[in-house]
Amino acid sequence: MTLRDSRLTALGRIRDARMSPALTRAMPIDPWRLISRRFSLETPAEGETLFAVANGYMGIRGAHDEGLPSNDPGFFLNGFHETWPIPYGEAAFGFATTGQTIVSAPDGSVMRLYVDEEPLVLGESKLLAYERVLDMRTGILERSARFRTARGAVVQLRSQRLASLHWRHLAAISYEVTLLSGQAELAIASELVTHLPRPKGHDDPRIGVRMDESALAPVNQFSDGTRVLLELRTRSSGIGLACGMEHSIDTALRHTIESNVQEDEGRVVFFLDAEPGVPARITKLLGYHHADKAPPGDLARRVHRTLDRAANDGFARIAEVQRERLDAFWEHSDIEIDGPEDIQQAVRFNLFQIRQASARVEGHGIAAKGLTGRGYEGQYFWDTEIYVLPVLTYTQPHVARRLLHFRYEMLEAARRRARQLGHRGALFPWRTISGEEASAYYAAGTAQYHINAAISYAVRQFVRVTGDEEFIAREGVEILVETARLWADLGFFSQRRDGQFCIQGVTGPDEYSAVVDNNAYTNLMARENLAAAAEGLEMLRDTDPDAYDRLVTRLRIEPHEPEDWCRAAERMFIPHDDRDGVLLQDEHFLNRKPWDFENTPLDHYPLLLHYHPLNIYRHQVIKQTDVVLATFLAGDRFSIDEKRRVFEYYDPLTTGDSSLSSCVQSVMAAEVGDMQAAYDYFLLSVAVDLANLAGNVSDGIHVASCGGVWMALVNGFAGLRDIDGFDLRFTPRLPADWSRMRFRLIFRGSRLEVEMTQEATTFTLLDGSPLTLATNGESFTVSAHEPVVVPVALPAAAG
């Protein structure tokens, strides 16, 4: 049994159990909502991630309102991080020096309920009813619970929580409590609280360093009636933060309010003279602003304004706007699937997580876990460009534009880093929050030069799909030029390889090989990067000679440089096996010892937790797609036969120990016609968080995999490609037990709807200029009001 089969069998058992009557009662499958009705089936660790709400600027872990039970609660702000000197037992020149780790801001999500002076802890009380729902249309996390107190009273709770997609600095909570019968003294303490430091001991390198929240130094406090504000500063990175909460209460009950504030926490407490049947509803508004540099008091004034405006709007209006924003999102970004009912839910969950991670990301990047957890220290990787930007470019191009601008802003640091490594041009950091390299293990960090190519790939795709010439002129070409310069300097024309351009000593996407020579993925992507820089410059010269001249002067581009790039691109060495012609992951891949998969117990995956890197590196074993990914991203360079050989060769060697793998395997399996594999890998992608397949969902959502689910559906099952002559090419292959899939794309301002059935695919231009499309090798034009129906050529094989 292959590794894929055993994983799929395990997933199958999970899905079967999930579909059982008992579990569907406890956790009904709903196309738009994630529902839990059995408190005892939840674990705080997983629930905090899966029920997190976020807007790209802030993210609130799905801890229960009362703060308990909890595993690792947190209130994360994008880019709000602490720095620390990276320790090395043995250091060397050029090693990254400054670690960067996201820290939780003071958590304003806490509403402690005291019943007869005892704090309510769900799970320790007698629960009569319970439901928690993450509604992906309203963007609200809603919880209702009914419990019996120790003195026999029955209390009803209902709460709602959102991170506003419209007002990025705003979160809002509605907390309603009703004594249904009996007698109870009720008090609700609304907190803005700095969590206690978490224990640091763990062995999982995927988590990384944990920072204490003691990284926050108090600066100022404010408290006035129902409003509390805290100003703080991170001790080492010096980032300023102001956060505040405002409250209102709507009730016929008599009540009193007290508030207080200390250095790092504030509290507004509502004491209720509860009477049966009379509800009390508290609205809590939260404002968060942070900045590297801000005049004293400025951040606090911004928080006051955020709270003032929100208080004026009220919870209902804020929730209404939230729904409007999500309606607009789903309008462009939904993928409808008629098939097994859990699939639709899981697909929407993945798309919703993309939304939560990216919606209001202005000025920051997308962390590997979005804002749902501390995994990978809240850092940005190449995941953004290769896995998340495609869906955004096609459905939310303004968000994609912001993320590329964020990389542009990082260029100066990337130039510095290149110089530090002895190179020309710019080298983007493998992992970063601030723009400086933070990877403390260069073999699977700094050596992954391919991040340069990932960013330039995203630039090119964005320009191609949006036609945004202003972006390419102002920022895009500069990124392409500086990344191309790095490649030109990194590689060399090797006499030993008949003058071909070789790139030695780099790590490709597969981190189970490290510091290898001529990684095919890297060389292929560098080739695209080099050619794109020359083309981009040429285009700029033709379209905007003034801008071109300014750029050439500013970057001191020598006339020979574009020629050098083209020559390097043309003569790029792409390693092939001499015997059967298959593309080699790196020049020496086949020389390594085969991995003994047969004698590797299933519980020894991921291998990185059970084997020394040296042991892994010297074997033919792959963490995640590498060559296979190259045949997708640079797909026009390969025949379908070559792609098939690559897929069939490398697939059995790929452990999928990274969540970045199975989505790409799904896409390429679909392209080479292995629909069973395509569907298997799609399932392993779409379920990675909901079924906790990687075992670490407690640390946060796998955002790249969420983007990868879109790729599996749109690039895989619909076969979208944008790298050849047509506007867009499709090769629809609907999984066998799906009857329909429908999605929308935006291409150069035109909105296209694609609806696939087992019989035909319908292309409808919703608005904009006509598009030239192609399916099955034949091209056609789709214009407004003239849908084109293309019968399915290939029968689907499985699914």
Supply φ then ψ for residue 298, to 5 degrees: -65, -45
Nearer to a second copy, 407 or 417 (CB): 417
Segment near a second copy (CB under 8 A), from 420-428, 454-462, 718-726, 778-786?
Answer: 420-428
Cis peptide before 69 (omega within 30 of 0): yes
Segment near a second copy (CB under 8 A), from 242-250, 319-327, 492-500, 649-657?
Answer: 492-500
Segment near a second copy (CB under 8 A), from 49-57, 88-96, 670-678, 680-688?
Answer: 88-96
Task: Find the shortest distance in angstroms from Cβ 497 to a second copy.
Answer: 7
List binders of a second copy among 604-643 (CB under 8 A): 608-615, 617-618
Residue 208 makes contact with a second copy by CB under 8 A: yes
| Cα gap 570→196, rounded to integer Å | 57
Residue 421 makes contact with a second copy by CB under 8 A: yes
Nearer to a second copy, 207 or 286 (CB): 207
Residue 583 tokens read as: 């593309």
Residue 411 makes contact with a second copy by CB under 8 A: no
Task: Find the shortest distance in angstroms from Cβ 599 to a second copy.
Answer: 11
State which of residues 303, 335, 388, 502 lies at the interface with a second copy (CB under 8 A).
502
The number of beta carbons lying within 10 Å of the beta carbon of residue 224 is 10
Residue 25 tokens read as: 């009662």
511 is catalytic: yes
Task: Find the shortest distance in angstroms from Cβ 612 to a second copy.
Answer: 3
Nearer to a second copy, 444 or 684 (CB): 444
Q: In this structure, are residues 242 and 280 in contact, taking their beta carbons and an 8 Å threshold?
A: no
- Cα 764 vs. chain centroid, distance in angstroms? 30
| 3-state SS class at 13 | helix
Per-residue string for binding with a second copy, 540-579, x by CB under 8 A?
A: ----------------------------------------
Residue 603 makes contact with a second copy by CB under 8 A: no
State which of residues 23, 209, 294, 582 lies at the interface with a second copy (CB under 8 A).
209
State which of residues 504, 758, 762, 776 lies at the interface with a second copy (CB under 8 A).
504
Active-site option among 511, 528, 587, 755: 511
Task: Find the shortest distance in angstroms from Cβ 575 to a second copy.
Answer: 11
State which of residues 184, 310, 366, 514 lies at the interface with a second copy (CB under 8 A).
514
Task: Find the shortest distance in angstroms from Cβ 101 to a second copy.
Answer: 10
| Cα gap 401→470, rounded to integer Å | 11
Which residues of 235-359 form beta strands (DSSP E)? 240-251, 255-261, 265-272, 279-291, 335-338
Residue 492 makes contact with a second copy by CB under 8 A: yes
Alpha-carbon Rg of the chain, whole angstroms? 27
Residue 784 makes contact with a second copy by CB under 8 A: no
The number of beta carbons lying within 10 Å of the beta carbon of residue 635 is 17
| Cα gap 302→717, rounded to integer Å | 47
Residue 311 makes contact with a second copy by CB under 8 A: no
Q: Provide long-range contacts, Cβ within 8 A and 24+ apart, for 209-216.
A: 209/84, 209/99, 209/101, 209/377, 210/101, 210/374, 211/82, 211/84, 211/101, 211/102, 211/103, 213/103, 213/104, 215/82, 215/103, 216/103, 216/105, 216/106, 216/241, 216/264
Nearer to a second copy, 501 or 632 (CB): 501
Residue 787 tokens read as: 């849908």
Residue 422 makes contact with a second copy by CB under 8 A: yes
Site size for a second copy, by CB under 8 A? 54
Report the alpha-carbon angle 262-377-109, nearest 5. 40
Residue 440 tokens read as: 């403390």
State which of residues 152, 238, 505, 581 lies at the interface with a second copy (CB under 8 A).
505
Nearer to a second copy, 613 or 673 (CB): 613
Task: Find the shortest distance in angstroms from Cβ 596 to a second copy.
Answer: 10
State which of residues 593, 599, 601, 778 lies at the interface with a second copy (CB under 8 A).
593
Q: In this structure, are residues 165 and 139 in contact, taking their beta carbons and an 8 Å threshold?
A: yes
Segment near a second copy (CB under 8 A), from 22-30, 193-201, 249-257, 588-596?
Answer: 588-596
Nearer to a second copy, 164 or 446 (CB): 446
Closest by CA to 178, choosing from 129, 137, 244, is 129
Task: Find the shortest distance in angstroms from Cβ 440 to a second copy.
Answer: 2
The number of beta carbons lying within 10 Å of the beta carbon of residue 667 is 30
Residues 6+ apart with CB under 8 A from 439: 96, 429, 430, 431, 445, 446
Residue 420 makes contact with a second copy by CB under 8 A: yes
Task: Find the shortest distance in angstroms from Cβ 600 to a second copy.
Answer: 11
Cis peptide before 390 (omega within 30 of 0): no
Task: Find the shortest distance in angstroms from Cβ 447 to a second copy.
Answer: 6
Per-residue string for binding with a second copy, 335-354, x by CB under 8 A?
A: --------------------
Residue 499 makes contact with a second copy by CB under 8 A: no
Task: Find the shortest distance in angstroms from Cβ 527 to a second copy.
Answer: 18
Nearer to a second copy, 314 or 613 (CB): 613
Closest by CA to 4, choosing from 569, 625, 491, is 625
Residue 419 tokens read as: 């110089």
AA identity, residue 798: A
Segment near a second copy (CB under 8 A), from 147-155, 390-398, 415-423, 521-529?
Answer: 415-423
Nearer to a second copy, 311 or 443 (CB): 443
Task: Find the shortest distance in angstroms from Cβ 28 to a second copy.
Answer: 41
Nearer to a second copy, 350 or 659 (CB): 659
List binders of a second copy among 429-448 (CB under 8 A): 439-447
Question: At which residue do the structure tokens 């309920």 appear?
Answer: 113
CA distances to 69, 365, 443, 790 from 417, in Å: 44, 19, 16, 51
| 3-state SS class at 354 | helix
For CA atoms 19, 23, 28, 30, the dihedral sign is negative
Active site residues: 511
Summarize as ranges the residues that interact with a second copy (CB under 8 A).
Answer: 86-96, 99, 203, 205, 208-209, 420-422, 439-447, 492, 494, 496-497, 502, 504-505, 514-515, 517, 587-588, 590-593, 608-615, 617-618
